[in-house]
Structure 1
Amino acid sequence: MKTNYEKEIEQAKKAALEVLLHNAHGPFHGLPRTAGWGYPEPYTRDQMISILGIAVSNNQELIKSIRNVLETLARNQTEHGHIPSLVHDKDDRGASDTTPLFLLAAGIFRKVSGEADFLAEAVEKALVWMSYQSPSDRFLVAQLPTSDWRDEQWVIGYGLYVNTLVYSYLRILGEHESAEKMRHAMSRFTVTGGTMHQHVHEGLVVKHKPYYAFWSYKIFSSERFDLLGNSLAILSGIASPKRADEMISWIEEECAGMHERGELTGALPPNFFPFIKPEDPDWHERYSKYNNPGDYHNGGIWPFICGFYIAALVAAKRYKLAAEKLEALTQCSKLSASGNQHFGFNEWIKAQNGKPLGQDWQTWSASMYLYAAKCVEEKRTPFFDEIRNK
């Protein structure tokens, strides 16, 4: 007989699949919607991330849909290899994470379909584009502010999240020599003391901390914690097993402290902390409208990122904690901004009070729930096991 916990997970998985099937056909050339109602457009990064849950669902309608997305992106790729931010709009350009996500998703789809040369020409063009994104020509790629998924938050230079994507696609596409050089570059310390000596190259390791820096560039860096980037560092194997275990313990301890200070409710970690506050030097005036402490990119709880964290816990063999977080994510997935859904799969949750403030039936929230559940059930991380073990 199934426990109540198991029954709730089965109900949530069924609801997540319903969301993905509902969103599979939208008003723009029949491409998938980003959310059930609020975002009818097919945003590239959301669709590429959703491939993880779609792939483990084995639902042929969804797999056919994601094939269409990838093939449409290949047709709308720029002359130089860049992938647009909207699947259907070749002129919507400028994102730093769409091309890496396309390459990772193409690698995953090759595993799912068995087509080893799927979109070979587009993949090669995208690899060339990415090879020119390193200002120092030394493996780490750089970005402009608000160009990745954090469109309301500044990441300058070598951002952790984008570089973990680059490492992951290099591994899944078999570019192991380049991947190893990149991992070595990321393992350098960030530059401190305000002086950058000749032949010293910045990295993303933070002194006396188990996690990786939010971003780094020359003598500047941010040591705030990025849950998505660090979860990908664990999943992909950039972080050693020892570092991964220490990082997870640190995350849980920091979250306990935020609970005590009234900055966090519930059992799920925020996407980013410590929160940027108006008195901090990295505060921007626009944040007061869109990105207040504990909101949106500035410390909101994002279910899709919690899905990556749960997968990272499985990768680190923290199975009990992963099961506990999956139970918390199951309860979180019920939250609905409209109040009309039994399972809202909302976009993001306010850290301090647990209120859903994003769009309901968000594609990547539903997809990453399915992926996290699969990881916990099977004690493995599909696709990333292979990446990590290379």
Structure 2
Amino acid sequence: MKDDINYRKAIELLQKVSSPEGFLASANNISNYKRVWARDGVICGLAALASGDKQLIETFRVTLKTLADNQHINGTIPSNVMTNGKEVEVSYGGLAGRVDAVTWFIVGVCQYAYYTNDLAFVAKYNVHIEKCFALLEAWEFNNKGLLYVPLSGNWADEYITDGYVLYDQLLRVWALKSYNYFLEDKSIATKIETIIEQIEINFTSDAGGDKYHQRAYNEIEIRDFMPCSFSPAGYKIQFDAFANSLSLFLNIGSDDFQDEIVKYSLNLKNEMKLKLLPAFWPPIFETDLDWNLLKNNCKYEFRNFPFEFHNGGSWSMVNGFYGLALLSKGKITEASEILDALNFVNAVADFSFYENFNSNTTEPNGVAFCAWSAAAAVLLHQSLYNNFKFLV
């Protein structure tokens, strides 16, 4: 197995953010990041599984326990949990609830059980998972297969995506597939097929079928990649790097359409100074119609300047999953290039593992010592050099 200082530093950061309650979002003493977050914690946990480090895997177990112990009565998984002695502070979201906390939790439980060969672990949290899936069914609202997600309802919590958000549909598919590995339930298999069919009908150009919003679909031209979201107000057609990576990883869309995603994403990556994909592309500028929606969607300070944060910024975490997507398509050389670029940005300022980077100036943004930036490098490193593969 290949080993280097970049990998060791990433593991060290994951060890630093390990707490008795689970993985914290950052090693920095910033209150909002000194919490166990659902999506951050699970992504760090997936890296723990990939690493094979027993202590990190144990931290993943307690991360999932913390989330499950604080599940809301209606099934919602906490966005984050902070423990301070005996006092527990639970958040289910800021300006809106976090839909992806629910799906990441399910993925986490199932992947943990699979890699530790602890089948009882799924049974232990079966009631929690079933409540999650019942809640997701309710969040369809029209019972037609796709989740309806509020603005600010997932990891891109200060961006413009809302309604039928591609990323959340794909995470739900992964969660259902992961769970059904253990249950082998025909009704779940049918649900998976229904969701995938609706994703392909509404987010690709070559699937045919009855669209959710035929008029809005007719007004855009889908090519090269799946658009990031649509709603009754129409489509938002930015390229979502995380979502399109998940679509490749889950093998959704025709072979030809997936080839187009790979071609577009590699061309875009190669145009970037950091040789990493921006989270969403192109950036939204002050002259664009969506600028007002973007500038008002922040609880504290505005961070989505063009080329930064969600608005065209480059994230190690997102690119880790992009590297996994490339590997799933046999693009080993291209995945290795992504890992090299990840290691380069993670090493900036003596391995500060910044949250994201300005794709234009290459300057770091956000919080330093960000746990999932390290997790991304671990996931891709182990997938490339130790043949680690997720349960999909």
Q: Give the CA deviation at 1:219.
A: 5.3
Structure 2 residue 24 is the aligned partner of structure 1 residue 33:
yes
CA distance in 2, matches of 1:135, 1:381: 37
Partner of 1:214: 228
Unaligned runs of 5+ in 1: 193-198, 337-341
CA distance in 2, matches of 1:202, 1:316: 31
Partner of 1:196: none
Partner of 1:339: none
When structure 1 is superposed on structure 2, of 35-44 and 267-276 the one drifting more is 35-44
CA distance in 2, matches of 1:272, 1:375: 25
CA contact (8 A) 2:100 2:155 kept: yes
CA contact (8 A) 2:204 2:222 kept: no
CA distance in 2, matches of 1:151, 1:374: 29
Q: Taking structure 1 as reference, are residues 181 and 381 closer, same or farther at Cα in structure 2, changes over 3 Å only?
A: farther
Q: Give the CA deviation at 1:239.
A: 3.4
Partner of 1:236: 250
CA distance in 2, matches of 1:33, 1:189: 37
CA deviations on 1:65-111 (whole Å, 9 max, x unpaired) are: 11111112111111111101113434534211100111111111110
Q: Give the CA deviation at 1:326.
A: 1.2
Q: Give the CA deviation at 1:252.
A: 2.4
Structure 2 residue 212 is the aligned partner of structure 1 residue 201:
yes
CA deviations on 1:37-68 (whole Å, 9 max, x unpaired) are: 14212222211222221111111111111111
The residue type equivalent to 2:289 in the other structure is: P
CA distance in 2, matches of 1:161, 1:75: 26
CA contact (8 A) 1:241 1:316 kept: no
Question: Given the alignment, which residue of 231, 234, 253 partners 2:267?
Answer: 253
CA distance in 1, matches of 2:211, 2:166: 19
Structure 2 residue 51 is the aligned partner of structure 1 residue 57:
yes
CA contact (8 A) 2:22 2:66 kept: no
Question: Given the alignment, which residue of 66, 69, 87 partners 1:72?
Answer: 66
SS in 1 for 2:235: strand
Partner of 1:367: 375
Q: Give the CA deviation at 1:222.
A: 0.7
CA contact (8 A) 1:349 1:355 kept: yes
1:76-87 matches, within 5 Å, as 76-87=70-81
CA distance in 1, matches of 2:77, 2:302: 30
The residue type equivalent to 1:114 in the other structure is: N
Question: What's the TM-score, normalizing by structure 2?
Answer: 0.85
Q: Taking structure 1 as reference, are residues 84 and 108 closer, same or farther at Cα in structure 2, changes over 3 Å only?
A: same
Query: How many pairs are equivalent?
Result: 359
CA deviations on 1:6-65 (whole Å, 9 max, x unpaired) are: 6xx62111111100001102xxx6443211114212222211222221111111111111
CA deviations on 1:190-246 (whole Å, 9 max, x unpaired) are: 599xxxxxx642499974413111001245111110000110111112234433222
Partner of 1:309: 322
SS in 2 for 1:223: strand
The residue type equivalent to 1:17 in the other structure is: I
CA contact (8 A) 2:75 2:132 kept: yes
CA distance in 2, matches of 1:11, 1:241: 38
Partner of 1:195: none
Partner of 2:141: 135
SS in 2 for 1:314: helix
CA contact (8 A) 2:166 2:243 kept: yes
CA distance in 2, matches of 1:105, 1:177: 22
SS in 1 for 2:13: helix
SS in 2 for 1:290: coil
Q: Taking structure 1 as reference, are residues 351 and 78 closer, same or farther at Cα in structure 2, changes over 3 Å only?
A: same
Structure 2 residue 105 is the aligned partner of structure 1 residue 102:
yes
CA contact (8 A) 1:234 1:240 kept: no
CA deviations on 1:143-202 (whole Å, 9 max, x unpaired) are: 11112111211211011111110010111111322111100010113599xxxxxx6424
Question: What's the TM-score, normalizing by structure 1?
Answer: 0.86
Partner of 2:275: 267
CA distance in 2, matches of 1:200, 1:229: 20
When structure 1 is superposed on structure 2, of 211-220 and 63-72 the one drifting more is 211-220
The residue type equivalent to 1:306 in the other structure is: N
Q: Taking structure 1 as reference, are residues 294 and 328 closer, same or farther at Cα in structure 2, changes over 3 Å only?
A: same
CA contact (8 A) 1:201 1:218 kept: no
Q: Taking structure 1 as reference, are residues 320 and 358 closer, same or farther at Cα in structure 2, changes over 3 Å only?
A: same
CA contact (8 A) 1:333 1:344 kept: yes
1:2-13 matches, within 5 Å, as 10-13=4-7
Structure 2 residue 23 is the aligned partner of structure 1 residue 16:
no
CA deviations on 1:279-310 (whole Å, 9 max, x unpaired) are: 11111234793211101010100001110011
SS in 1 for 2:103: helix
The residue type equivalent to 2:106 in the other structure is: L
Greater strand share, 1 or 2?
2
CA distance in 2, matches of 1:191, 1:374: 32
Unaligned runs of 5+ in 2: 83-88, 181-187
CA deviations on 1:234-265 (whole Å, 9 max, x unpaired) are: 11122344332221111222345xx4xxxx41
The root-mean-square deviation of aligned C-alpha atoms, in Å, is 2.5
CA distance in 1, matches of 2:211, 2:357: 41
State percent identity of aligned pairs.
23
Structure 2 residue 389 is the aligned partner of structure 1 residue 382:
yes
Structure 2 residue 189 is the aligned partner of structure 1 residue 181:
no
